[in-house]
């Protein structure tokens, strides 16, 4: 059995490539790195890699992480600037004996020394988003922060090896130096090949309050299915945050166990995720809610898919 699951529709092209590699018998790590890099490299996805939206100083600072479910090795970068594929740097860091998580200038120095591709990650399109948002915030007195569509993935190869990884530009208009959940083990991601893995997207500040990815893996270890574990974790943190703080930020999680069974839960409308397994072609699902609050999945229609790409790539004008 093999499989790969990821947050958001934007992961579809990446997981399709990854699934092909897994089908050919390639390893979970190579398939996962390829899958995440495809998302990082596509400039129209504005919250990951090239084309990611900048912080309040109009600089693109990226977070990414890597975890190997066999060895439990972890590597992560945070607030790294001017490097094309943060996930590859995170993967390399996971092979170091120590110093596995590097931030800012230290991460950039490491990337330079190890020959990773330098690239100005701020696109003209991202600048237009920045100027438009700045104007909107000033005129409408809005909260500046928005957009936090991290790509988080978990995969399983035919040899039972699992990996997890994340990559994100974090909150649009975040403070310089702000780090979200994505590079934080147990929050943005966690994987153990003896059990399964999970990854998160949403408001990092709230996701970190529940160590959600670790919690899902822990529940799967206790015998819950990936779907039960995701729902239990999201519902319980959502409830707790509302009780204790009056509100809960966006919390969306995906998971896969070491049999290739998968699950997803969210507390927001409009969440999508992409999955492919030995038994299932790459598919995008939309999470929908019934009146009683319970959720179900719908395969994204052709119309939805066409509209998605049309709106992502539509010309942008500065207001
Ligand atoms: N979940 C991504 C972030 O908050 O940065």
Reported confidence tier of residue 140, pLDDT bands at 50, 70, 90: confident
Q: Which of 171, 208, 249, 254 to mutate to test the pocket of ligand 1 (most atoms within 8 A of CB)?
A: 171
| Closest by CA position to 32, among listed 103, 85, 96 | 85
* pLDDT number for residue 272: 97
CB of 182 sitting under 6 A from ligand 1: yes
- Nearest atom (ligand 1) to Cα of 170: 5
Q: Which residues are paired to 68 by β-bridges?
A: 163
Distance 23 CA to ligand 1 centre (A): 31
Res 78: pLDDT: 98
pLDDT at 136: 82
Residues 245-286 pLDDT 10s = 999 999 999 999 999 999 999 999 999 999 999 999 999 999
What is the per-residue pLDDT for 68? 98
Average pLDDT of span 291-313 = 96
Give residue 168 CA to ligand 1 midpoint distance, Å: 7
Q: Confirm whether 150 is a catalytic residue.
A: yes
Choose which residue among 201, 208, 251, 267 to substitute to test ligand 1 binding: the one with the highest number of ligand atoms within 8 A of its C-beta. 201
Give me the pLDDT at residue 270, please. Answer: 93
| Tens of pLDDT, residues 182-226 | 999 999 999 999 999 999 999 999 999 999 999 999 999 999 999
Q: How confident is the model at residue 124 (pLDDT cuts 50, 70, 90)?
A: very high
Catalytic residue among 123, 150, 168, 277: 150
Q: Is the pLDDT of residue 113 over 80?
A: yes
Q: Which atom of ligand 1 is nearest to the CA of 207?
A: 1
Residues contacting 193, CB < 8 A, separation 6+:
69, 70, 160, 161, 162, 258
Question: In the structure, what pLDDT confidence band is assigned to residue 145 with cuts at 50, 70 and 90?
Answer: low
With a cut of 70, say whether residue 230 has pLDDT above it: yes
Q: How far is residue 250 CA from its own chain's centroid?
A: 13
**What distance in Å separates the CA atoms of residue 101 and residue 115, rounded to the nearest whole number?**
18
Q: How confident is the model at residue 162 (pLDDT cuts 50, 70, 90)?
A: very high
Q: State the closest ligand 1 atom to the C-alpha of 180, by its place in the atom list counted from 1.
A: 5
* Residue 146 reports pLDDT greater than 80: no
- Cα angle value 103/10/173 (rounded, 5°): 45
pLDDT of the residue at 143:
65
C-alpha atoms less than 13 angstroms from C-alpha of 276 in its C-beta half-sphere: 20
* Residue 139 predicted with pLDDT over 90: no
């Amino acid at each position: 059995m093999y499989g790969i699951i990821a947050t958001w529709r934007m992961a579809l092209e990446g997981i399709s490539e990854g699934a092909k590699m897994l089908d050919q018998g390639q390893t979970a790590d190579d398939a996962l790195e390829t899958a995440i890099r495809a998302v990082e490299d596509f400039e129209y996805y504005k919250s990951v890699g090239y084309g990611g939206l900048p912080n309040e100083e109009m600089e693109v600072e990226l977070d990414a992480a890597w975890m190997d479910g066999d060895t439990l090795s972890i590597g992560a970068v945070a607030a790294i600037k001017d490097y094309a594929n943060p996930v590859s740097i995170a993967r390399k860091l996971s092979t170091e004996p120590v110093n596995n998580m590097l931030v800012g200038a230290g991460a950039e120095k490491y990337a330079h020394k190890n020959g990773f591709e330098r690239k100005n990650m701020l696109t003209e399109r991202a600048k237009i988003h920045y100027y438009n948002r700045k104007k909107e915030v000033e005129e409408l007195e809005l909260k500046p922060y928005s957009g936090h569509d991290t790509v988080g993935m978990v995969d399983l190869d035919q040899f039972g090896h699992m990996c997890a990884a994340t990559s994100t530009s974090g909150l649009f208009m975040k403070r310089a130096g702000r780090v979200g959940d994505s590079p934080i083990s147990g929050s943005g991601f966690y994987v153990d090949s003896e059990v399964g893995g999970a990854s998160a997207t949403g408001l990092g500040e709230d996701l970190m309050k529940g160590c959600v990815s670790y919690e899902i893996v822990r529940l799967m270890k206790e015998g819950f299915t990936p779907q039960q574990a995701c729902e239990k974790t999201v519902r319980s943190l959502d409830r707790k945050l509302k009780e204790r703080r009056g509100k809960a930020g966006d919390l969306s999680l995906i998971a896969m166990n070491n049999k290739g069974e998968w699950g997803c839960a969210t507390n927001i409308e409009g969440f999508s995720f992409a999955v492919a397994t030995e038994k299932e072609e790459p598919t995008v699902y939309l999470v929908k809610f019934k009146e009683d609050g319970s959720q179900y999945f719908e395969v994204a229609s052709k119309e939805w898919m066409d509209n998605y790409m049309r709106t992502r790539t539509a010309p942008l004008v500065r207001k």
